Structure 1
Amino acid sequence: MYIRNESDIIRLIEHDRWMMDILHHAKSLDLPDWWICAGFVRSKVWDELHGFTIRTQIPDIDVIYYDPSDLNEETEKRYEERLRVLYPTIPWSIKNEARMHIGNNVLAYESSTDAISKFPETASALGVKLDSNDHLILTAPHGIHDVIHLEVRPTPYFLENQLTTLYEERIRKKDWKSTWTKLKIFYF
C-alpha cells in the first residue's frame, strides 16, 4: 500500500484486526481525551512502507489520557491492570498526560494532543482512537509528512527548548534504522 495521506493511515489501521482489537479494549476504559500513540502508529506505517509482512515488535502500547481531576499514578496502574485482564499478552502502558509534566519538568500540558505535540520526534507525534461511533480518528499535530517519508527529526518543541541532545540520545537508544533501513535520521 502506498501511503499518501491521513486517510491512508486510517485505512491501514482499520484493516489490521490486532490494532482494532487493541483500540476497542482501550476505548472500553472510557478515559477522557484518550489516544494510543507513538510506536503503535509509527511502526505500522514504517512496516508498511518497508514492505514487511510480519509486524515489528513494539516494546509497549502507549495509551494516554488527560484527567486533571486525578493525578494519582496508582489510577494509571489500575487502568493497566484492567487492560491486562482483557488482553494479557499486550504490554500496556497508560499515562495521564495531566500529570506527566511533573516528571518531565516542563509546563503543564493542556490536553493529550498538546502532550503528543511535544513528543521527541515528529514521526512519533501521532495518536489514534475510536470515537463514540467506533470511527478511527488520527491526530498528527505536526502532520504526517515525516512518518510517511521515513524521516525522523525532532519536534519544534524539542528544537525550541534545545532538547536536541535528548533527541539524539533517544535516536541512538532506539536504533530504529537497524530495523527500518530506509529511514532518514536528521540530527541538529
Structure 2
Amino acid sequence: MYLETLGNPSAATEDQRITALQRIVRATPALMRILRTVKDLGLPDAWLVSGGIYQTVWNVLTDRPPDFGIKDYDVIYFDGTDLSYEAEDRVIRDMNAALPDLADKLEVRNQARVHLWYEKRFGRPYFPLSCAMESLTTYAAKTHAVAVRLGDGGAIDVQAPFGLSPIFAMRLVPNPLTDNRPTYDEKAERMMALWPELTVVDWDAT
C-alpha cells in the first residue's frame, strides 16, 4: 500500500497505519538507537513520543532527510516512586551519556512529576497523571499524540489515542481537550515553514 493512501481513514485501516509506522521507525537508525537505549536503561513506562516520530513520517512522505526539521526527541517515562528533580536529572544524564551525539536533542521527562513544575513555567495548572500515556491526551494537537517503544522480542509497540491518519495525511489537528491554542498556533507556524505540504486545521474549526 502506498504511504499516501494511509492518511485517508476510508482507504486504509488503523492496523495498516500502525504497520507502516513500525516499518518507518525500524528503518530510521536514530529512532531505533533511542528506543534501544530506553529499553536498556529499564525506565518504567517509557516511550519515545511526538515530534521525533510524526516528523520522521512527514520526511519520508516528502522525500526529505529523516532528521529534517526535528527539533528534539521527546522521551517520557513514569516513575511515581521518586518525584525529585535529582532522580529525573540522573535519568537525563544517563540518556545523554548513552547517546552523546543526540544529547542536545534529547528531552527526557518523568511524567509523574510534570504537575510540580508545569504551572510555574506555563501559567496554567496541570493535573497529576496516573501513567505516561495519559500525557498524550494533553498535547495541543491530536497529530502530536503518538508514542512508540520496544516491546518484548524487539516488537515496536505503538500508541496513538487519536489515531494515526492525521500524521499520514500531513494534517495538523487541534486537540480541544486542552486550553492550549497559543501553543498550537506557534507550533503550526513553525511546522508550516518547514513542511509547506502540511494542512493546518484552525483551532476554531473543532
Tell me what 1:2 maps to: 3
Q: Is 1:106 paired with 2:126?
A: yes
Question: Quick one: which of 50, 59, 73 aligns to 2:71?
Answer: 59
TM-score calculated relative to the size of structure 2: 0.82
Please give the alpha-carbon distance, in whole angstroms, between the structure 1 residues aligned to 2:172 and 2:182: 15
CA RMSD of aligned residues (A): 1.7
Q: 1:135 to 1:164 in 2, by over 3 A?
A: same
Please give the alpha-carbon distance, in whole angstroms, between the structure 1 residues aligned to 2:191 and 2:154: 32
Please give the alpha-carbon distance, in whole angstroms, between the structure 2 residues aligned to 1:31 and 1:7: 25
Tell me what 1:41 maps to: 53
**Matched residue SS, 2:148:** strand
Give CA deviations for 1:93-132 in whole Å, capped at 9, x if unaligned.
2111111123332221121111012111111111110013
Q: Is 1:156 paired with 2:176?
A: yes
Q: Is 1:94 paired with 2:125?
A: no
Please give the alpha-carbon distance, in whole angstroms, between the structure 2 residues aligned to 1:54 and 1:109: 32
- Runs of 4+ more than 3 Å apart: none
Give CA deviations for 1:20-64 in whole Å, capped at 9, x if unaligned.
112101211111110011111011111111121453142222110
Tell me what 1:171 maps to: 188
Q: Contact 1:122–1:147 at 8 Å: present in 2 too?
A: no
Q: Which runs of 5+ in 2 are unaligned?
A: 7-16, 119-124
- Aligned residue pairs: how many? 183
CA drift of 1:153 comes to 1.8
Q: Contact 2:56–2:66 at 8 Å: present in 1 too?
A: no
TM-score calculated relative to the size of structure 1: 0.89
CA drift of 1:73 comes to 1.8
**Matched residue SS, 1:56:** coil
